[in-house]
Amino acid sequence: MQSLLRWGIENSTPQTQTQTQTQTQTHPQPQPLDPSIIDIILGKSDAERMKDALAIAVSADKADVDERVNALDDLEMLIEQIDNANNLEKLNMWEPLHSLLTSTPTTPTPTPDSERIRTHAIWVIGTAVQNNPAAQDAYLTLNPIPLLTSFLAPPPKSTKSSTSKETRSKAIYALSGLLKHNAPALKQLDVQSVNEDGTEDGWDRLRQALQDPEITIRRKTVFLLNNLLTPNEAFTSSLSSPSQNLHTPDALSHPQDPIHPNSHSAYLSQPNRASTSGPTLEAMQTHGIVRVLVDSLTGADEGQVGGEGGEDVDLDLDFEEKGVT
């Protein structure tokens, strides 16, 4: 029996090795797929698409204006998702995106093409920071508010040109996203700048926006101020502590609970972050914004009701509602 077993082992092993070699030759090991083929099959990731879009947007010498604008449109659509908006910081995209606001001339006469690029870049920024404290803080490191408020200057009565209506509108949109529930950001409105009319800061420019000849700009400005004046203590308290009930442990029993990183963790690490009403009211009184707003509502500021181009006076009802509120 033992000799028979030994004979079987000795005679089966070479056959197995031969079969293995034959199978290896017949079925070679598969080669790894080329990443470009995977991209064709599955499509590029959102991060890759974001990088490609921004690369086109900043390539003034390689892409025409329409291509750059379309790329910014694609980027804006991608960063509507909050995870993609937060990836702007991880992918080091904030600085090149912000550079589109400064790389095109604003004086003496910005070209329509440069205004289109700037307007769409501001639009992307405004979408990225909407209700996103993490993106707000990432962008605020570039100190952008003085630049954004500089775009609010309406066309003066002289022959000099200024920013377009679309750019001013998108600047208000971006400022609303940056300043809402963000008391620390209000400090950047205090930054002084010098122009041909003297020294002014962000609050002065918001006051000018309330006197803009375009009613849409005035509406958006008063809506922004209304948001900043709305008390938000209930908002922060709802984030910082759970409601007490029979199944909820005493919040004081865990005073040092860790704060895990996420898009809205800033509200926990900065409990007073959303309290913008006090500083806003004080600044409005100091910079004469309350007076300008009252004059606009009562019609004392002639030429503002109805706006330019024969707009219907009834369209100011929305402005009056927000202003009174």
Strands (E) located in 224-303 = none
Residue 146 tokens, joined: 């003085």
Query: What is the reported pTM?
Result: 0.75
Instruction: Report which residue type is found at 110.
Output: P
Q: Which of 170, 176, 203 is nearest to 281 (CA)?
A: 203
CA distance 97 to 95: 5
Give percent above pLDDT 90 in the chain: 50
Strands (E) located in the chain = 193-195, 198-200
Residue 118 tokens, joined: 């700037």
pLDDT the model gives residue 14:
53
CA distance 230 to 268: 20
pLDDT the model gives residue 260:
56
CA distance 172 to 293: 17
Predicted confidence (pLDDT) per residue in 39-93, tens digit: 677 788 999 999 999 999 999 898 999 999 999 999 999 999 999 999 999 999 9
Q: Which of 82, 59, 62, 87 is nearest to 72 (CA)?
A: 59
Q: Which of the four pLDDT bands, split at 50, 70 and 90, describes residue 253? A: very low
**Residue 10 CA from chain centroid, whole number:** 74
CB 59 within 8 A of CB 103: no
CB 324 within 8 A of CB 296: no
